[in-house]
Amino acid sequence: MHQWSTSANGVPPVSHAFTWAGHKVLFHPGESIAAALIRSGQLDFGPALGGLRLRYFCGVGACQGCLVSVDGACPVEACLTPAQSGTHLSAAMPFAEVTRDE
């Protein structure tokens, strides 16, 4: 069984980090990407089709509202994916913000 190392207040120390759109985001070992982003104040996960915005909603992988790209790969659910040190996260659908004249 994994043992957390804890600080004086009983909360595991935040000692790991990934980047979101170039900004460093700290996380606790075992924490999901979504939890780390939300705790850092990042509630908007980027554009989605139809002019919507991606964000945390269901927390169980059902809504696909929290999709993010990890190291430029295919989108994953941020609510289900453990954060990993040294990764670079970005919006899953940056192209969705592009508009075209018709």
Q: Cβ closer to ligand FES: 29 or 59?
A: 59
Q: How far is the CB of 97 from ligand FES (least distance, A)?
A: 20
Q: Which residues bind ligand FES (CB under 6 A)?
A: 56-59, 61-66, 77, 79
Q: How far is the CB of 42 from ligand FES (least distance, A)?
A: 14
E strands along 14-97, which residues? 16-20, 23-27, 46-47, 53-54, 67-70, 76-77, 88-91
SS3 98: coil
Q: How far is the CB of 54 from ligand FES (least distance, A)?
A: 9
Rg (CA), the chain: 15
Nearest residue to ligand FES on Cβ basis: 79
